[in-house]
Structure 1
Amino acid sequence: MELDLAKEQLPSTQSKVNDHTPDHINQQIERETEASVNYYKRQGEGEIQARINELDYEWDTERLMKVNMASVAALSTLLAVKGNRKWALLAGASSAAIIQHALQGWTPAIVVFRKLGVRTVDEINREKKALQNLLNKPE
């Protein structure tokens, strides 16, 4: 019963970021992904494989969020220890933002990242799968 309650209150791990991103931004990211796949349809296998390799290293929203919030927490903790203790409030806010993102998929930083075109791991994997399908396409 508790698990059912959690399912009702928490968004899906795979859709939480998209669910909290305005539709026009999700659509823009989708259009850019489709444009990339369409570009590579006209390229050779080497170029397609190189793009797949690039995608293996593309930073997704989760990684960017974790690095940014952890960096803010570490820097503000250091400033609190070395200087003014009020900096500890920023470390606490950063930790709260990480927790909120993990549970709900939304933070102000994610809104900015999405506007900048940062994709979720699922969106990156969709492009990879489409490119892999181009490589495996019978001629």
Structure 2
Amino acid sequence: MEAPTTTGRITQRHRHATEQIRRELEYRLTYFAEHPDRIDDRLAELDSEWDIERSLMANASTLALVGTALALLGRRRYLLLSVLVSAFLLQHAVQGWCPPLPLLRRLGVRAQYEIELERYALKVLRGDFDKAKDERKKPEATLDLLGGRSAAHEERGAGKARRS
């Protein structure tokens, strides 16, 4: 059995919710194109937004803990809750889907790549990548621009540290 790709497994099964999330993104980008002074605040909000995987794990672990605690208090039937939630998590890991996903999608919980899409679209609106036009043929400059460190940059830093 072949598992769906990470980026496609959530949006493929929930097209209506995905379209709604996409429309909301377009609305936000239109707003921030008109109000570029508010982009930094939105980027800060995105840093704390939970993606669907994190939301699913947090909810599942909460339900599993509650089920286990109630079972330990003598209500054995609640052990079934822990087993059921664990089965859903396994199903999600293998198939990329589980019963709570449609609800989370309808509530507007986004996949990580959807959050990152908004983040980079906002950075484009802010002009972060304008600097890359002159430097686009230099991988080191491109990685630095994106917040990563190039291997050459790291080696130079390590060489300086060894010489010190």
TM class by smaller structure: 0.7 to 0.9
1:125 is the counterpart of 2:116: yes
Matched residue pairs, number? 129
Structure 1, unpaired ranges of 5+: 1-5
**Partners of 1:20 and 1:44 in 2: CA distance:** 34
Q: Which of the pair has more CA radius of gyration?
A: 2
Q: Contact (CA 8 Å) 2:68, 2:78: kept in 1 or not?
A: yes
- Whichever residue aligns with residue 51 of structure 2, its letter is D
Question: 1:40-97 CA distances to partner (integer Å, 9 max, x unpaired)?
Answer: 001133x101101101111110010000000000000000011221111110110011
Q: TM-score, normalised by structure 2?
A: 0.75
Q: TM-score, normalised by structure 1?
A: 0.88
Runs of 4+ in structure 1 off by over 4 angstroms are: none
Cα root mean square deviation, aligned: 1.3
Query: Whose RCO is larger (CA < 8 A, sep 6+)?
Result: 1
Structure 2, unpaired ranges of 5+: 131-164
Match for residue 106 of structure 1? Answer: 97
Taking every aligned residue pair, what percent have the same amino acid on both sides?
37
Structure 1, 71-80 or 129-138: larger mean CA deviation:
129-138
Question: 1:135: how far off?
Answer: 1.1
Q: Contact (CA 8 Å) 2:67, 2:82: kept in 1 or not?
A: yes
**Partners of 2:117 and 2:70 in 1: CA distance:** 41
**Partners of 2:127 and 2:36 in 1: CA distance:** 12
**Partners of 1:36 and 1:13 in 2: CA distance:** 25
